Every structure is written in structure tokens, then in C-alpha cells.
Amino acid sequence: MSDLTDFTLAEARDAVKAKKVSSKELTGAFVKAVAGAKSLNAFVTETPDKAMEMAAASDARIAKGEARPLEGLPLAIKDLFCTKGVRTTAGSNILGNFIPPYESTVSQNLWDAGAVMLGKTNMDEFAMGSSNETSYFKPVVSPWRAKDSNQNLVPGGSSGGSAASVSANLCLAATGTDTGGSIRQPAAVTGTVGIKPTYGRCSRWGIVAFASSLDQAGPMTRNVRDSAIMLRHMASVDPKDSTSVDVPVPDYEATLESGVKGLRVGIPKEYRIDGAPPEIEALWSKGAEWLKAQGAEIVDVSLPHTKYALPVYYIVAPAEASSNLARYDGVRFGHRTKDAVHDITELYEKSRAEGFGAEVRRRILIGTYVLSAGYYDAYYSRAQKLRTLILRDFTEAFKKCDVLLTPATPGPAFALGEKSADPVSMYLNDVFTVTVNLAGLPAIAVPAGLTANGLPLGLQVIGKAFDEATVFRAGRSIEVAANFSAKPGTWWRAA
């Protein structure tokens, strides 16, 4: 290894376990890498002292023969996960100074497994965005650039900081959250792997809420194996989260190489959309050929209500957001204005106007509107009925197949500022991902190819509820066939 930061999570785990490298050496290399990558703006809060302290404790455990599964491995945590004693902002000014007195269940699970925290990654404000441009702490810049171009690109969103930090080798792996594609979409456009597990597989306790019936935590990693390792240790039932499900968490890594022979892979015809770049269609066809060559059976399926998924999502998610974000009023939680002089209404209005960014305000307004008297039945109630039909489509499709193969995004990363003035264009980035959240299913994005100008594209595998093991197997088979080895340049490194 030329550089310790080139390790995958699995390689680092094995090297630390074999005492070829200490956690302090490994963590020190990543702390240095993070410090040298300020131009990517991937982190909101860096925790180098805490990281080195945790690494020293890991080395002491290893010396005593008490190593845990992720002992001494440095990770990055999306700034939506509450971390005890470490600032947690959700990318928003309204939580700009929030230091939680408690730890989220998912991050606690990782620390209990021995992992080390490098810091908190930047994100779209309250996870609302597909490009990481709505963050109060300025946009994240992708480490990738198109061939012969110096133009800064978006890393996808909302987990853009996590995607950029994994892609740029600033951490071994990172946590993300996915409400409508916020793990899979940034993973696809940064050449990394991201899985949204089944709704209820990971606890949502201690994760700042966006849309409670859609949000789900998951890992962002350099390859499928690392993703399988991470999810095993992130997932758990949790008495503090009534939506977490008490089902065993398998050893996903153990079955990873089982292959896809005999697996039925469904190709949903509704995912062929007008105006998609021909590269996306070509990659999708190639993905089906790769799986067929490895012994899978390709079957055509239909998901007839797919065309309603985006409008349903952009009614349900803002409705839940308007409810969840009502607590941030400057009295109970969040930023409090210094300019209110008349009454409590003025205090609420000014605190929220100063605390929330434009996209969050837009979604709160949409959500409040669709929940209001006279419009609830016309919008929210109809959206929930359609959501049931979308889930039924998947149930019917899975009678014919074991997994579904689709594109992950409608195109590669775009330039910073290119779509930020057009919300509808931005929302269309989630066209292939939102159905999975509405149905509560697991899905993985795997890097599978490059555009003509050298930018990553991904494929998505969707599975049955709580069957992440099969999703990982299919994802691994694509990874092997694609042999994706492209890396972004290092233009962003401090001299």
C-alpha cells in the first residue's frame, strides 16, 4: 500500500487485526487527509483529537486481545446523526450550535463495534436536496471532474459530504441517510457504493427527522464488501424506535460471493424514461447482460404506478417534514432570533426565517398546504393511497423475480449551480430512487461505468423486504463484472 488511506474497510480491518498497522497510524493518516481536503468542504465538524483518543483506546484493546469487529477503523458520520458532545447541525443554521447530550443508536452501534470517529460530514439542510447545495455550511464539491475540465461538480445529495469523503479517501466508510435516494444517488455520481436498507432495519433514534415514514440510515463505502460489513454493525432492533424491526441481522459478508446463478432479475419497463442519456440505457442493458452471463435469468416486469412516485413523494415527504420541523421555533428547539420585540408570533416567524434555508422553507410550505383543511383529501390522502399501490406493484413484480435491476440516476454529476434555480429539475434526480423509499424496500447503488467524459454512473439493485443479503450478492456480481477501478484526481489536495 502506497498510502494507508488507500485501504478499503475490509483491508484495514485485516491489517489492524494482524497488527501490521496500528489504529493510531491509520487514524493519523485519515486525520491528515481530512485536514488537507478543505476545498471539498466535505466536513462540517472535524474531530481529530477525539479520533486519536479513540484510536489509542482501540490499540490498547487490541494489545489485550479484546478487539471488536471494527476495532480502530476510522469512519465519517453524516451530520444528521446525533453524536454525544459533538456538534450536530443537520446542515442548518437553526441547529448551528446544537451539541447533543446523547448518541444516535446507529453511531453507538458503530462505536460499540470499535470504530473511530473522524468527524461529521456536510449535507443538504435537513437532508432536503439532491446536490448538497442547500447546506447552510456551503456546498460540498465532488472530488470528480470531467475530462479536460476544471468545473466543480456536485457530489449528489443529501449525503454529499459522506459520498465525497469516501470517494476522496478521507475515511474508510461513512454513514448516510436515504429518504428519497440520499444514499444511492450521491454514491452513483461519486463512484462509490451505497445501500438503503429495508425500512426498520436500522434504528432512526437519534437521527434528526426529515420524513419519518421514509428516512432510513445506511452505509456509504468504496465497495460492496465494505457495505456489507458496515450494515451488519449499523443495523439493530431498538426499543427507542418503534419502527425498528426485530429480525436477525445476517452476516452479509459471509454470503457475498454466492453469485447470482438461478436468480431471477426483473427489468421494470417503466424505468425507461424519455430524455434519459443513451449512456444510461446502454449501461442498464450491459448490467442485465453481466448478470445473465453469471447465470441469472432476466425477466421483464411491470411497475405500472411508477409514474406517480415522484409526485407522491413530493407530497408525503414535505407533509411529514412540516410536522417534524414544527418543533424548531426558537422556544423549544433551535436558533432564537434577537430581533423579536412584539410577541411570540414574531419570535417564531423571525427565528424560523433566519434558521431555515430557502429549500427547507419551500418544503415546509408545501407540506403545510397539503395537510391543510380542504386540501388534505385532495393531496395527502390520495398520495397515501397511491403509495399503497406502488408497494403492491413491487409485491406483484417479486412474484416473478428475486431482485430488480434499474439505473441509479438519470445522469452523471452536474455542475455546481446548474440546477439550483430549478427545483423541478432538481427533484427529477430522484426519479429512479423514490419508489424504493415509498415501498420501504432495500436497494443498493453500485458503480458500473463512466460517461464519455469520465464521470461515474451507477446501477441499482432493488430487493425484497429484509432480503439485503440477496441485494448484496447481486450488487457484488455487478461489481465483479464492471470491474470499476476509476478514481477521481487529487486536484483538491492542499499542497
- Does residue 182 carry a catalytic annotation? yes
**Cβ–Cβ < 8 Å for 351, 334:** yes
CA distance to 245, 383, 412, per residue, from 188 (Å): 28, 28, 8
Quick one: which of 370, 325, 335, 313 has its CA closest to 95? 335
Provide the grid cell at 79.
451530520
Select which of 22, 58, 78, 477 is catalytic: 78
Question: Alpha-carbon distance 19 to 353, whole Å?
Answer: 53
- Does residue 78 carry a catalytic annotation? yes
3-class DSSP assignment, residue 146: coil
Question: Alpha-carbon distance 409 to 434, whole Å?
Answer: 11
**Cβ–Cβ < 8 Å for 460, 283:** no
Quick one: which of 484, 477, 407 has its CA closest to 447? 484
**Cβ–Cβ < 8 Å for 280, 403:** no
3-class DSSP assignment, residue 462: strand
Rg (CA), the chain: 21
- Does residue 242 carry a catalytic annotation? no
Question: Alpha-carbon distance 77 to 84, whole Å?
Answer: 12
Centre a 10 Å sphere on the Cβ of residue 289 and count the other Cβ atoms it contains.
Answer: 12
Select which of 23, 58, 107, 182 is catalytic: 182
Question: Alpha-carbon distance 162 to 79, whole Å?
Answer: 9
Quick one: which of 117, 49, 53 has its CA closest to 82? 117
Quick one: which of 92, 68, 189 has its CA closest to 451? 189
CATH topology of domain 4-263: Amidase signature (AS) enzymes (3.90.1300)
**Cβ–Cβ < 8 Å for 153, 145:** yes
Centre a 10 Å sphere on the Cβ of residue 404 and count the other Cβ atoms it contains.
Answer: 27
The cell 417564531 sits on which residue? 348
Provide the grid cell at 421.
434555480
pLDDT by residue for the chain (495 residues), tens digit each?
A: 459 999 999 999 999 999 999 999 999 999 999 999 999 999 999 999 999 999 999 999 999 999 999 999 999 999 999 999 999 999 999 999 999 999 999 999 999 999 999 999 999 999 999 999 999 999 999 999 999 999 999 999 999 999 999 999 999 999 999 999 999 999 999 999 999 999 999 999 999 999 999 999 999 999 999 999 999 999 999 999 999 999 999 999 999 999 999 999 999 999 988 777 899 999 999 999 999 999 999 999 999 999 999 999 999 999 999 999 999 988 888 999 888 778 899 899 899 999 999 999 999 999 999 999 889 999 999 999 999 999 999 999 999 999 999 999 999 999 999 987 888 878 888 889 999 999 999 999 999 999 999 999 999 999 999 999 999 999 999 999 999 999 999 999 875
**Cβ–Cβ < 8 Å for 347, 355:** no
Quick one: which of 429, 458, 464 has its CA closest to 445? 458
Select which of 23, 130, 158, 165 is catalytic: 158
Listed by start position, the domains of the chain span 4-263
Rounded to the nearest angstrom, the gap between the alpha carbon of residue 84 and the centroid of all alpha carbons in its chain is 21
